[in-house]
Amino acid sequence: MIKLCRVDSRLVHGQTVFSWYPALKANAILVVSDEYAASKERIQALRIAKPADAKLVVKSVEDSIVALNGSAVDKYELIVVTGNVHDACEVARACPKITSVNLGGARPLGDSVKELGPAVRFPNPILMKLRKPWLMESSSR
């Protein structure tokens, strides 16, 4: 069961490990990132940061969509983390099991950025993606 789909540029870090993971009674974390999935060093760094009892899986966006639409993930209490809104939108659009996307920390990105909160900043084109009807319809998605 997908407990949370979160956008956070820090991926697996203190807030995920000490707040979200125990509060949601999760037992697995899926990191959705083409960049991280292609790097053994980055995967190893995430393994060091994860909770000791967590299963950690790092997959590309495409492989994550396949996995999330399969039945293998149903045996986990899963947190899905993406590093950016674009990847979250791709996964959420393709996976009916994702019913909402939680927006977390993001690095400052430049002048064309809208600050939504102390740690939530997105470029204006990304905000337009968030306004897509498929993501806003909470009753059907």
**DSSP sequence for 77-105:** -EEEEESSHHHHHHHHHH-TT----EE--
Instruction: Kindly give the pairing relationship between strand 120-123 and strand 113-117.
Output: antiparallel
Check residues 64 and 103 and name the one with the higher pLDDT.
Answer: 64
pTM of this prediction? 0.78
Residue 139: band (very low, low, confident or very high) from pLDDT cuts 50, 70, 90: very low
- 9, 10, 13, 63: the catalytic one is 13
Q: Does residue 13 have an active-site annotation?
A: yes
* Model pLDDT for residues 63-92, shown as the tens digit of each residue: 999 999 999 899 999 999 998 888 988 999
Residues in the chain: 141
Q: What is the mean pLDDT of the segment spanning 48-70?
A: 95
